[in-house]
Chain A
Amino acid sequence: MDKLPEIILQISVYFVSAGIILSTLRMIKGPSMADRAVALDTFTVISISLIVLIACLSGRVIFLDVGMVYAILSFIGVVAVARYLEGGL
């Protein structure tokens, strides 16, 4: 009973990993370039959650900073791809 929170966290790691696999499949399959950009957006948001879950499971606070920098860089990347698709870059 003492281990219950850790087991629930490990189950949620499985759910998040399944989400990452599904969005990666869409990124491979997507017919046009905008589909791949949308899948990339979802992929980065899900992997921020995975990074913070790994921070909680391993107990190292440095992964929170990694997740923060990853969020900023992925936001800039997705907005740059969107501007490129629109033709404004």
Chain B
Amino acid sequence: MEWNALLGSILTLTGSIFLFLGALGIYRMPDLYNRMQAGTKATTLGTMLTLLGIGVCHTEWLGQVLILIMFIALTNPISSHALARAAHFKGIPLTEKSIVDKLKEEENRLEVK
């Protein structure tokens, strides 16, 4: 048995469990911002682990897979940041359990001055 295939498949399994947990957070969390937190961080790590596992499994695909990993690590935070900013400025409320909103405090402080 080839050991790189076993190592790559175990990495892929770990990454897919992270992807499943991220989607579970998307489904279960009470608020848009909580959902975004769960969905972005867990799926970034899960996608990177899954693609790295495939790259270890098929060593001749490793360059292409590394380009894909770099692209996801660059673009996933940008898109989630744009979505969170749009949701906050559109006025979507936080859930009742949340206790602090630093961006709103900063906006109020700038308006008072």
Interface residues of A (CB under 8 A from B): 1-2, 4-6, 8-9, 11-13, 15-16, 18-23, 25-26, 32, 34-35, 37-39, 41-42, 45-46, 48-49, 52-53, 55-56, 61, 64, 67-68, 71-72, 75, 78-79, 81-83, 85-87
Given A5-B2, A42-B43; 18 other pairs, CB 8 A cutoff: A5-B9, A6-B9, A9-B12, A12-B12, A12-B17, A15-B19, A32-B32, A35-B35, A38-B36, A39-B39, A41-B40, A41-B79, A49-B46, A61-B64, A68-B67, A75-B78, A79-B82, A82-B85
Known A-B contacts A49-B47, A68-B68; A41 and B12 likewise in contact (beta carbons under 8 Å)? no
What are 28 residue pairs bridging A and B, where the CB atoms are less than 8 Å apart in the complex? A11-B16, A12-B17, A13-B16, A15-B17, A18-B20, A19-B20, A19-B23, A19-B24, A22-B26, A38-B26, A38-B36, A38-B39, A38-B80, A39-B39, A45-B43, A46-B46, A49-B16, A49-B47, A52-B50, A52-B54, A53-B12, A53-B50, A61-B61, A64-B61, A64-B68, A72-B71, A75-B79, A78-B79
